Structure 1
Amino acid sequence: MNNSTATQILEALNVGNEGIRYLDDCIQRGELSLSDLGILNNMLDLLSALENTTLDVSAPNRVNEIIANIRYYIERLEISVNDNVNSFIYDFRFHLCSLFRILEFEFAYLVENYINKADYPYLYPDVGNVDHDWIASQGEEANLKVSVVLVGYNNLDYTRDCVESILANTDDVEYELILVDNGSTDGTKEYFDSISGAKVIYLKYNLHVTKGFNIGLMAAEGKYSAAVCNDFIFTPKWLWNLIECIESDSKIGYVSPASNSISNMQQIPIPFISKEDFQEKARKHNVSDPTKWEERVVLLPNVLCCPTALLDRVGYYDTRFFRGEFVDDDISFKIRRAGYKLIYCADTVTHHYGSLTTAADHLTNSLEEGRQTFFEKYKLDAWEEARMQSFYLDIEPELLSGVYSILGLDSKCGATLLQLKNRIWSERHVKSELLTLTSNDKYKEDLLTISDKVSIFNDFSNLKQQIDKTIDMIFIEEPLDSYNIELSDLFNYLAEALNKEGKLIFTISNGISIEALYSMLNNANSIHNKKIYVTDLVCKEANESGFELISIKDYAIPRSSESIAIINKLSHSLSSGAQDEINYLNTLLSCSYRLFQMKLKST
């Protein structure tokens, strides 16, 4: 691959795009002639040329499967043009046009390192600013309120449950149902065809989850699109509640509900004995409640509910996520960086059977592959830097009172900090002002999406001057032992930046956790010279600066099965009669951090 080849590919795709737009104009004017269909033959020649191009790229792609689907629909168009005009128009609009756009995105990704993206803004949605006014105006011109897009690949029994739950529980919102059969072989297409009024998109050859969703979303004509997988069951008022939330604030660009089985702290466990029992319990739960709306850095799309024009502008799901893993994190980043909020709607619960859509890919190394793809795109680790830590649940309720402003210090992309703000909103009905300081410039872009003010942090001594005010709470996510400053000075500077009875939350590392031991053993050139803070010393220095201790709690980060096995092996190496010692060693090795919660003493 070289610059010349990359340019030739994109220029060839542009010729194909012009041909499709010409046919579309002819159809819109009702002036399509048989001679115009010669463009389809030209398209076949173009596809052959693209297939024969030597890409010389290692990135996984589905070029061949996309082209095979396009060829299938060109053949159908040539047959139906004389027999069924409506079928011709439908296949042209919702199959051929969308498939060609998917092909454009696929090639654009493969050649992106060899061209100037600014020369091809249509192919690179990350180029340029997002016009919020344009997106709003497109929504006002939409044909209906919501397009519900369901993607199914086999698993017909689950798909039927999903579709029936949508039909039974969505009569309170104007919507169209778009059903994408992603190359199923079990009768899914025939079932979809039997659903009255549904818009059925059929892929002859499986394009997998990312492109399967994209072709359905490209067919959407609603103001909003709500993309769902076939392994969910939907519940009373599910869509009504989501639309209630997204229309409450023009800055909201993506909402998603809870589920009984999901990660990212979007789970609401509801015990049930039957589908009917679950539906009845969900009916009682699904009452719109803004105090249960949480702004997030990353959302998992139990439902990807967004303005349709916004999805179009950001380029839908990113085709580079070959198996679909971490495409959820990516769409969250794209929408948030486009200037919109992500809201988790905990007032609405759905049922999730569990990853049927991507089950086959889970048999591969898809998680690590997707995680690496995300890192290559953003230079961020989606798990380590953009997901929240569960310890926010352990913050003592008394610390949440009277918190109208929060300073987050070195809180990475801000996920845990934002969840702390959410908890104050949920429990105290206060929307705290959020300020952030970061010592790493790479986090600034994402912190700007959630904070009222973001500054680069380099010195505790001028902390109060940097924030230009005193505040009610300081949350430091980076462990205190990572800073090169004396504890006595540190607590004095923090106290100066806080209001009367201000709160302080921070962590210190456990120097003999399994992670710390790994670090020492694996880096032979370094000496373990991090500060080691004894709890009593931390509390003493904080007390002398005016802080009183509220709570100390230990917590562990998620760890690998290898780490767990080592912990178990070390602890069980003790004699069987020393159970207290075994428990103590287990605690020492498993504890990653110690969480301190303090507040300034009343004077």
Structure 2
Amino acid sequence: MATIELNAVEKQLQEALLNQEYEQVQMLLEKNESSIRPIYQSIFKASLAFAAGNAEQVWRNIAEGLQIDGNNYELYMMLGDYYAGYNLQQAYLCYENALFYCNVEEDRTQIQAVIDNLTEQGISVPKAGIVILSYNLLDMTRDCIESIRKTTPDSAREIIVVDNASKDKSVAWLKQQKDIKLLCNEENCGFPMGCNQGIRMAEKESDIMLLNNDTIMTPNALFWLRMGLYENDQVGSTGSVSNYVANGQAVIENGKTEGEYLTFAAKNNVPMETPYVHKASLVGFALLLKRCVLEKTGYLDERFSPGNFEDNDICLRIILSGYRNVLCKNSFIIHWGSKSFGKVPQKYNTLLETNQKKFFDKWKLLDLTSENYLEIRMDLLDIMTKYHAQSSTNIMTVGMGCGTTLSYLQARFPHDQIFAIEQQPYLAQISNQIVDTVCANLDEWKGDDLAGAFDMILVNETLEFTKNPETVLKELVKMLKQDGKLLIGFFNRAFYERIDENIGQDILFDRNSMQKLLANVKMTVDDWMGIQPLEIPEQEQKRIQKVAAQNPMLRQDDFVAMQWICIAERQRDDIKFGDKMVVCMPTCGHPNVIEDVLQHCAEVYKRYALDVYFYDSSKDEETKKVIENYQAKGYDNLYYVAVDPEMPVIDKFENIYLLKGIQKKYKYMWYLRERCWCEEKTLKLMYQAVCEDYDLVFMDVGHPESKEEISICNNANEFYHRCGDYATSMDTAIYNVDTMLGNQFDLAEFHGKYCLNQRRGFLFFLVILEQLSKKIPPTICLLAGNQVTIYHSVLGHSSWGDRRIWIWGKNWIGANEKLPVCYKNKEEVIKRTASLPWILGDKDGLIELHRKGILTPEYYEEIKIFWEQVSDIPLVVLKKIAYGIN
């Protein structure tokens, strides 16, 4: 095929290709990349891929080239050759587009010959009969028609205009146009009737495109719409994306200039890996209908005149006839929007409500409601996004109605496999044209055939309406992969609209009953997420508090959200910590805290064979009784170690570091405060870590946004700067017994260096960083992300809050200064940590200390010498607080 203006290297490549010297082509491409224009790099690479039979690479190279120049006829010709192996109608469309852009006569002759050959074989694609309704707005109508002429070949379309009694100069201009079919109504017949008139004027075989006159056709927009329409025989209609459109079809913000939109279109209207989204409906501003499907379904329903919901109606009929409505993301058309209906907003809204009622009245036998057909649950999509894995995922949804929300889910995760279960037959039929949907009675559903198939299952407001929710959940859980997540949406048991004497009787679940239900099916709750918050008047809030206080099953925040989403994970039975890790918890005189902690974690700790030792220095035996009570119930992983109540705290800590009282050898030790525990999601990550050899496993709770859940650090100073603030907590570190403790831990040397009797508050921080400084290099495993969470009992509390200025000023500075020299820029860690809001970085906290009589003028004079080292709050502000100056 002839080309123009090739440079010397490009001519050499072309000649080598014609001679089928493919190794020479590859060598020239590699050696002369800078001399070959990017568009020709794509063409030559695609040619090589064709020769090698690598269809995937062919498509990729063509796509790259069209992103550089979307009007390159050679690439469309090659794209036609690519599709010739898959879909001859799509190949025909590509050759037609190549001919449209080609201005080299010799090449035009060759392209036409290919098209003629296909036609002789009976392969062709009908024109698109573009039906435009005109009602005044001549400038817009003219711009719309001119854009069609500029961007589409004559062979691909015919232009049909129905004028609905315009009163400006529209009719006069339209009558002068020789390439359009025109019908002039004497009165405004409305959108549905006018479109039907236009459809009847089109050629018998033409597909029909309904196009608003307030649009601008962009290059290749119609081409990709037609490519989508002939993707397969199941497609009944295709729709474009735009700047001004509802239904999830908007892809760029409204309000830009035409030039900006055309620039966007040039980058958008190109081959895409996943260009199609199946939809329950498509907006009629730019809707392409396959003629053979339209003849089966019937034309637009004129009961919806003057307009609105006729597009929902025709799309629903397409689905019920067994076809699909497909959104083509690579077809962008500019839409200025609502230039006719939008002139009178109130009238438009009234019409919208009226036609919506007509629509649901027409289809009431299908049990269609605005909730199961129109409602788009973006809140659920956002929650699924939060818990979605980075890689492609298998998702099962239950109770999503017609699947409107599923089309958004499909658009958000185009590489996922999405399925649905729906109990109502007609809703399932509609949903099935969006994603693969099974119609089934949930009370009879069995999950065995799909056991272990799904990464995520979403159950949307469905369990409330089953006879036996526990049985249904058990079958659904069977379908989860080992680490699969279950998302359950359910209405509040009671929200403020239902506060009365019979509160909650008409709703099955609240969070408490849902938690018990999940425990029965071996699921662990990861998170509760309330959605659709309500504005509650002050008087109503008081009423809520009263009712909630009288009913222990309810919590006040149950009234604040209309619906809850519970995120749960399938329980693991294959994780056994055994001798891999032991938990050591010092406690003293807080049996209620220990009881509360065990209520949250005892079951999962036992299931994971995680041994826990309680070092108790209480003066009574109440804590011992709590432990013995659990031991009597079969919790043989819980151990009690009595500690002399008179033993100094520092000695008690050292006994734990030396693992005194421990009955067997463990690989790792987790030193944990009495009021803390973690859930199953965190234990899973811990288990992965302790199965390997590290000096330290550190729960980097300071970086919950991290996408890398497990990472390795081999530099003590880097660890100090990343995690120094959270290393001050005893709960975050899991020590390798052999390399960090035991014989490796010289207590005498440690005591002498850090004067622990005066600085015991930072014992854990000092142990970690002192020991890591001796490892060359250290191996530190960091556990981060939203799966890493340490929970605290509401019954426990910190005892040093009122002393924090001195602790974090004097002692914290001293602890850092005594660290080995391998730790650099210590002042940065000192200030960043102490300036955290809950330490010394919050003015309200300091005001509270002044109110308590702690932060006094005298105290200010003592601490001002180090204040600027530990806080971003200016010294002058601290002084005003201390002196009580407003």
* Alignment TM-score, normalising by the size of structure 1: 0.63
Paired residue for 2:371? 384
Shift of 1:302: 2.9
What are the within-5 Å matches in structure 2 for residues 201-220 of structure 1? Answer: 201-220=183-202
- Confirm or deny that 1:412 pairs with 2:379: no
The one-letter code matched in structure 1 to 2:287 is L
Paired residue for 1:355? 338
Paired residue for 2:564? 594
Paired residue for 2:223? 240
1:373 aligned residue (354, 358, 367): 358
Q: 8 Å contact 2:225–2:239 — kept in the other structure? A: yes
What are the within-5 Å matches in structure 2 for residues 140-159 of structure 1? Answer: 144-159=126-141
- Confirm or deny that 1:319 pairs with 2:302: yes
Shift of 1:451: 5.3
Deviations 1:75-94 (A, max 9, x none): xxxxxxxxxxxxxxxxxxxx
Q: 8 Å contact 1:479–1:509 — kept in the other structure? A: no
Q: 8 Å contact 1:481–1:530 — kept in the other structure? A: no
The one-letter code matched in structure 2 to 1:366 is L
Deviations 1:308-345 (A, max 9, x none): 23223321111221332211110110111111111112
SS of 1:291's equivalent?
coil
- Confirm or deny that 1:396 pairs with 2:372: no
What are the within-5 Å matches in structure 2 for residues 461-476 of structure 1? Answer: 462-464=445-447, 471-472=453-454, 473-476=456-459
Which is higher, the Rg of structure 1 or of structure 2?
2
Paired residue for 1:169? 151
Q: 8 Å contact 1:286–1:347 — kept in the other structure? A: yes
Alpha carbons of 1:406 and 1:196: their partners in 2 closer, same or farther (altered >3 Å)?
same
Alpha carbons of 1:539 and 1:350: their partners in 2 closer, same or farther (altered >3 Å)?
farther
Alpha carbons of 1:492 and 1:348: their partners in 2 closer, same or farther (altered >3 Å)?
same
Paired residue for 1:180? 162
Task: List runs of 5+ in structure 2 lacking aligned partners.
Answer: 1-118, 543-554, 575-886
CA distance in 1: counterparts of 2:560 and 2:216, whole angstroms: 38
What are the within-5 Å matches in structure 2 for residues 95-494 of structure 1? Answer: 144-171=126-153, 174-221=156-203, 223-270=206-253, 273-359=256-342, 363=347, 365-379=350-364, 380-381=367-368, 383-387=370-374, 388-390=376-378, 391-396=380-385, 399=388, 405-424=394-413, 426=414, 429-432=415-418, 434-438=419-423, 440-450=424-434, 452=436, 454-459=438-443, 462-464=445-447, 471-472=453-454, 473-485=456-468, 489=471, 491-494=473-476
Paired residue for 2:537? 570
Alpha carbons of 1:442 and 1:307: their partners in 2 closer, same or farther (altered >3 Å)?
closer
Alpha carbons of 1:406 and 1:199: their partners in 2 closer, same or farther (altered >3 Å)?
same
Shift of 1:158: 2.4
Stretch moving more, 536-545 or 408-417: 536-545
Shift of 1:477: 1.9
CA distance in 2: counterparts of 1:334 and 1:248, whole angstroms: 20
Alpha carbons of 1:601 and 1:423: their partners in 2 closer, same or farther (altered >3 Å)?
farther
The one-letter code matched in structure 2 to 1:293 is Y
Shift of 1:422: 4.4
Alpha carbons of 1:554 and 1:186: their partners in 2 closer, same or farther (altered >3 Å)?
farther
CA distance in 2: counterparts of 1:415 and 1:478, whole angstroms: 15
The one-letter code matched in structure 2 to 1:456 is A
Alpha carbons of 1:549 and 1:349: their partners in 2 closer, same or farther (altered >3 Å)?
farther
Q: 8 Å contact 2:443–2:466 — kept in the other structure? A: no
Alpha carbons of 1:176 and 1:511: their partners in 2 closer, same or farther (altered >3 Å)?
same
CA distance in 2: counterparts of 1:435 and 1:228, whole angstroms: 33
CA distance in 2: counterparts of 1:290 and 1:316, whole angstroms: 33
Alpha carbons of 1:423 and 1:596: their partners in 2 closer, same or farther (altered >3 Å)?
farther
Shift of 1:273: 4.5
Paired residue for 1:530? 506
Q: 8 Å contact 2:162–2:182 — kept in the other structure? A: yes
Alpha carbons of 1:508 and 1:273: their partners in 2 closer, same or farther (altered >3 Å)?
closer
Q: 8 Å contact 1:464–1:497 — kept in the other structure? A: yes
Paired residue for 2:105? none
Q: 8 Å contact 1:471–1:502 — kept in the other structure? A: no
Aligned-pair identity in percent equals 22
What are the within-5 Å matches in structure 2 for residues 540-555 of structure 1? Answer: 541-542=517-518, 545-549=521-525, 551-555=527-531
SS of 1:342's equivalent?
strand
Aligned residues: 433
Stretch moving more, 469-478 or 368-377: 469-478
Q: 8 Å contact 1:435–1:451 — kept in the other structure? A: yes
Alpha carbons of 1:199 and 1:550: their partners in 2 closer, same or farther (altered >3 Å)?
farther
CA distance in 1: counterparts of 2:136 and 2:396, whole angstroms: 49
Q: Which structure is richer in relative contact order (CA contacts within 8 A, separation 6 or more)?
A: 1
Alpha carbons of 1:316 and 1:590: their partners in 2 closer, same or farther (altered >3 Å)?
farther
CA distance in 2: counterparts of 1:152 and 1:303, whole angstroms: 15
SS of 2:333's equivalent?
strand
SS of 2:284's equivalent?
coil
Shift of 1:543: 5.3
Q: 8 Å contact 1:463–1:497 — kept in the other structure? A: no
SS of 1:501's equivalent?
strand
CA distance in 2: counterparts of 1:345 and 1:276, whole angstroms: 22
CA distance in 1: counterparts of 2:135 and 2:411, whole angstroms: 37
Q: 8 Å contact 1:173–1:240 — kept in the other structure? A: no
The one-letter code matched in structure 1 to 2:164 is N
Q: 8 Å contact 1:152–1:180 — kept in the other structure? A: yes
The one-letter code matched in structure 2 to 1:443 is L
SS of 1:320's equivalent?
helix
Shift of 1:144: 4.8
CA distance in 2: counterparts of 1:189 and 1:226, whole angstroms: 21
SS of 1:191's equivalent?
helix
Q: 8 Å contact 1:149–1:180 — kept in the other structure? A: yes
CA distance in 2: counterparts of 1:403 and 1:437, whole angstroms: 23
CA distance in 2: counterparts of 1:406 and 1:417, whole angstroms: 11
CA distance in 2: counterparts of 1:572 and 1:184, whole angstroms: 56
Q: 8 Å contact 1:238–1:348 — kept in the other structure? A: yes
Task: List runs of 5+ in structure 1 lacking aligned partners.
Answer: 1-136, 558-566, 576-584
The one-letter code matched in structure 2 to 1:339 is G
CA distance in 2: counterparts of 1:556 and 1:224, whole angstroms: 43
Paired residue for 1:508? 490
